[in-house]
Structure 1
């Protein structure tokens, strides 16, 4: 994979991986909520192992990147292809960001352990795109999953 995130947004984050409903209010519950979207699509071979990898990563360092963004992520043999999931929260969830702001846009990245550069590439491309106020605003205002995909496709291209 030369450019994991821009090759095909619809493959990386299909509509079934996008939730426009309010996620749980606690960080760990939100991570499980996002994980279950990916589990339901058949991309996770071992839910508990994937959850353990995500939570271990949270223990290492906060995945709250500031500006209302949380990006829990992990490389694990429990997933069979790079996957991204998304939820947004009106209330905000404490992801321990440096700016102290709760996360209202939450992306979860899961890539296979053998994913090489995919993990870092997805994380950096997504982080760069989310630095832009208009991208965050469009994600907050999206009326359906397709708008979320379109926003990401345009912001990351």
Structure 2
């Protein structure tokens, strides 16, 4: 699924202020549950279970919490920029301040890994992350994210 279809204009939050990873996951679960009309506790438990398998921090201050959920009708992706970086158990030791959460329907695994890969691909360079950290609005941040996909070369087959 292309980034422009995955991230919608209303799905960005540029001012979250969690004190730690646990609180961030709670805030993301709240945001997702409200947007999806889905059980907040199920979202939170799924995100926490995935983090127990290993941190979803990508490094360079970027987190990609993701999970598949039973009964979800369509994927949801949310871009969050944190007011202050938080510890996220990243391999490079860098605290996280940009978060890309992806929730995917359990019964529709097709497209899940390519969607995660597409996000990682556009974030390879430092330029997009730097731009997202400077964005003045959620709309501007998502426009940057979506336009970066067009500029990112496709992976070889």
TM-score (norm 2): 0.87
For residues 115 and 123 of structure 2, the distance between their equivalents in structure 1, rounded to whole angstroms, comes to 12
Per the alignment, do residues 127 and 44 of structure 1 end up closer, same or farther by CA in structure 2, a change over 3 Å counting? farther
Q: How does 1:8-157 map to 2 (within 5 A)?
A: 9=4, 11-41=5-35, 43-157=36-150
8 Å Cα contact 1:16-1:37 kept in structure 2: no
Q: CA deviation at 1:133?
A: 1.1
If each structure's helix is expressed as a fraction of its own residues, which one has the higher value?
A: 1
8 Å Cα contact 2:32-2:40 kept in structure 1: no
Superposition misfits of 4+ residues, deviation over 4 angstroms: none
Per the alignment, do residues 17 and 23 of structure 1 end up closer, same or farther by CA in structure 2, a change over 3 Å counting? farther
Unaligned runs of 5+ in 1: none
RMSD: 1.6
Unaligned runs of 5+ in 2: 151-157
Query: Which residue in the other structure is 2:153 paired with?
Result: none
Aligned length: 150
